[in-house]
Amino acid sequence: MDVHVRRGELAIGTTVIDEPNDGIIDEIQLFGYDAEGRLLYREIDLLADSYPDAIDWYVYDQVTGLLVEHDSEDYEPPPDQDDVFTLHFEYQYDEQLRRVEQWSEGSDTTDGDTVEFTSLSTWTFAGTCP
């Protein structure tokens, strides 16, 4: 089932998943879109227990409309919120609007111990590569 409603400038979409079609909701996904139809927000409830398991946010360049930032955070239901994974991406594009750089940083906290990480990926294009 897919339901869309307008809330101000944000279009909200909800997907309810009943995988074996047994009448029991298995997963709920909530999506938020801007007026241009670009995904701004995604919330995933894998157990359909009213606690989000993951939340993502997206930011787009005002001129090109290309995705420039993406943040993600994974959650556990309360009171076990000590296992949290966060991730932040930033993207750069060339004149042909091809992605040429992806930088990310994040952290993973499990049982009070936090591991942080960063990553940089770059792409170059040769010849007539689109």
Is the separation of the CB atoms in 44 and 51 below 8 Å?
Answer: no
The alpha carbon of residue 95 and the mean position of all alpha carbons in its chain are separated, in whole angstroms, by 26
Domain of 21 in residue numbering reads as 1-48
**Do residue 3 and residue 62 come from a single domain?**
no
**Do residue 121 and residue 60 come from a single domain?**
yes
What's this model's pTM, rounded to 2 decimal places? 0.76
Give the Cα separation of 102 and 91 in Å (integer). 5
Give the Cα separation of 86 and 116 in Å (integer). 9
Name the pairing type of β-strands 54-60 and 39-45: antiparallel
pLDDT band at 6 (very low <50, low <70, confident <90, very high): very low
**Do residue 28 and residue 82 come from a single domain?**
no
**Do residue 65 and residue 33 come from a single domain?**
no
CA separation (Å) from 100 to 20, 61, 105, 111? 42, 15, 17, 37
pLDDT digits (tens, 9 = 90+) for 79-101: 666 678 899 999 999 998 999 99
> Does residue 127 surpass a pLDDT of 80?
no
pLDDT band at 9 (very low <50, low <70, confident <90, very high): low
Give the Cα separation of 118 and 83 in Å (integer). 19
- Pick the residue with more confidence: 23 or 119? 119
The pLDDT assigned to 39 comes to: 92
Report the number of distinct structural domains present in the chain. Answer: 2
